[in-house]
Amino acid sequence: MELEFEKEKVSYLGDAVREIQNVEVTQELKLPDGLPDVGRILASWGQEILRGKEWRMDSILLTGGVMVWVLYAPEEGGSAQILNTWIPFQMKWDLPENTQEGRIRTKCLTRFVDARSVSPKRVMVRCGVGALAEALVPAEAEISRPGEVPEGVELLRSKYPIVLPREAGEKAFFLEEELTPVGAEKILYYTLSPEIQEQKVMGNKIAFRGNGNLHVLYTGEDGEVSSQDFLLPFSQFAELEGSYGSDAQANIIPAVTELELELDDEGKLRLKAGLLGQYVVEEPSVLETVEDAYSIGRDLNMERIEANLPATAESRNENIFGEQTVPAQDGREVDTRILPDFPRQRRMENGMNLIFPGSFQTLYYGEDGTIQSAGGRFETERNLRSDEAARVTAFPEKPGEPQISFGNGAMSFRAEIPVHIATETGRGIPMVMGLELGEEQARDPDRPSIILRRSDGTRLWDIAKKAGSTVEAIRKANSLEGEPAPGQMLLIPVI
């Protein structure tokens, strides 16, 4: 006799690729005519720009570049000079065979920028770029539920609360602003860091708002180097392919796709920026399955699988701290740039150790009134409790305002860095897909009830299955509502 099971399809987005890749790109800069020879490199900065995402037959491709600025002190003295350039990059991830086309989502970071003079007229620049790429494809899982259950068949029914990715897309938009800095004469460098502050799914739309954080370093009319920050709010919405309930959630990663800043003759800054909101819609649900089965007095053949769904177990934002002390003259801070990196992951006995590296660079006026720079690397750790099969995705967000202090020939740096951490359960969901019952066997009417002591961690279901009883009968005989206490003596009735 075969027990009929109803089949139901659960649709979600699976990831054919989710992987971090790092590249290094270099370029030699020749000083334009009219600029003085390089004496000493003071500082270098970069801004990553995402130019394109391409889904190919066997791979996904990211293209972009780094806007680079190099500040140097001339060989014969005088005011600091600035060089700028564009260094392109390209990254490729291979796809598994026969992967259908889907959506690409990425988080790009400038990991480091450094420069050195190779001659009085030439400077070598090296940039590190990292990107987390997700190749998201439509997928389905088959869930089975039993129909009418014959007498004498016991089923272990389980409920699993899960959060599944359902839809991915992106919204491109632009920021055009006219800004008034304090006495700017010449721009040295600028960066734009977009951050999402609020995101919400409303039926067939997704709405989000946030800020573009523009940081500008410039020289004033008096030749002093200064920095200023501008907060540029934005609000956007996008149409979705599906319609979702009020419990659906949005997960958005922003990217900068274009960036241009000019200082006009009136001393105003004119900004043109392209931004991209890359979203995934996640929907919570409860998955009801039959995890196990047995029959009292009958042989039972069971078809059982483990369904592997990309269910988000936890997604949260928290803060870490980067700290370091480096040699430096006493001075006055002008500008500090922080470059947090993707974390390294190390499996531990009861979870995951995340090691977040990063670097910082501070520009300051020394005691002698000349512009100086100091910087270094830092690392900080975070331990997560998770099972050995769980998968963790983590990346840093825009750092907070750093704290810089000078004294005793050293400079101390400390900054708060928000990080996004998502954990996916890696354990499969046990599921009975079919049952076949054998002939009913005669039972021994003289078989007595038994008394057992519950071992630690043993479920009532396992006790009933092994003893040839039922969970309901054991609970009734022992006046139980839930699981028995560890070591509790139990009366196991004969069924």
Region 89-116: mean pLDDT is 96
pTM reported for the whole predicted model? 0.89
pLDDT, position 445: 63
CB contact at 8 A, 189 and 110: no
Does residue 1 surpass a pLDDT of 70? no
- Supply 245's token pair: 């309930």
Q: How far apart are CA 305 and CA 45, in angstroms?
A: 53
Q: Which residue has the higher pLDDT, 248 or 287?
A: 248
pLDDT digits (tens, 9 = 90+) for 360-413: 999 999 998 999 999 999 999 999 888 777 889 999 999 999 999 999 999 999
Q: How far apart are CA 101 and CA 41, in angstroms?
A: 46
Bridge-based pairing state of the strands 312-327 and 410-424: antiparallel
Q: How far apart are CA 493 and CA 495, in angstroms?
A: 6
The length of the chain in residues reads 495
Residue 465, phi then psi, degrees to nearest 5: -65, -45
Percent of the chain surpassing pLDDT 70: 97
- The full DSSP string for 200-233 is EEEEEEEEEEEEEEEEEEEEETTS-EEEEEEEEE
CB contact at 8 A, 230 and 179: yes
Domains of the chain: 447-495 (3.10.350.10)
Q: How far apart are CA 337 and CA 158, in angstroms?
A: 51
Q: How far apart are CA 251 and CA 312, in angstroms?
A: 12
pLDDT band at 62 (very low <50, low <70, confident <90, very high): very high
Q: Return the CA Rg of the chain.
A: 31
> What is the number of other CB atoms lying within 10 angstroms of the CB of residue 455?
10
Region 293-311: mean pLDDT is 83
Residue (of 342, 340, 387, 345) closest to 360 by Cα position: 340
- Supply 204's token pair: 């067939």
What Å distances lie between residue 374 and 102, 113, 324, CA to CA?
Answer: 45, 14, 11
Does residue 176 surpass a pLDDT of 90? yes
Averaged pLDDT score across all residues of the chain: 91
pLDDT digits (tens, 9 = 90+) for 431-480: 888 888 887 776 666 666 677 777 667 888 988 888 888 999 999 988 98
Region 470-491: mean pLDDT is 88
Does residue 185 surpass a pLDDT of 70? yes
Burial class from Cβ neighbours inside 10 Å (0-12, 13-18, 19+) for residue 433 reads middle
- Percent helix, strand, coil in the chain, to 5, is 5, 75, 25
Region 269-290: mean pLDDT is 94
Q: How far apart are CA 261 and CA 54, in angstroms?
A: 28
pLDDT, position 149: 82
- Angle between helix 460-467 and helix 471-478 axes, rounded to 10 deg: 110
- Supply 435's token pair: 């049952």
Bridge-based pairing state of the strands 5-30 and 122-146: antiparallel
pLDDT, position 493: 85
Region 176-204: mean pLDDT is 95
* Residue 462, H or E segment: helix 460-467
pLDDT, position 491: 87
Residue (of 360, 437, 372, 369) closest to 400 by Cα position: 360
- Supply 440's token pair: 């009913």
Region 265-294: mean pLDDT is 93
Q: Which residues have CB under 8 Å from 166's CB, separation 6+?
A: 11, 12, 13, 242, 244, 248, 281, 282, 283
Q: How far apart are CA 189 and CA 361, in angstroms?
A: 14
pLDDT, position 443: 65
CB contact at 8 A, 143 and 309: no
CB contact at 8 A, 246 and 281: no
Region 211-220: mean pLDDT is 96
Residue with tokens 């700290």: 323
Residue 428, phi then psi, degrees to nearest 5: -70, 155
pLDDT digits (tens, 9 = 90+) for 21-47: 999 999 999 999 989 999 999 999 999
Among 210-219, 329-338, 476-485, name the one with the lowest average pLDDT: 476-485
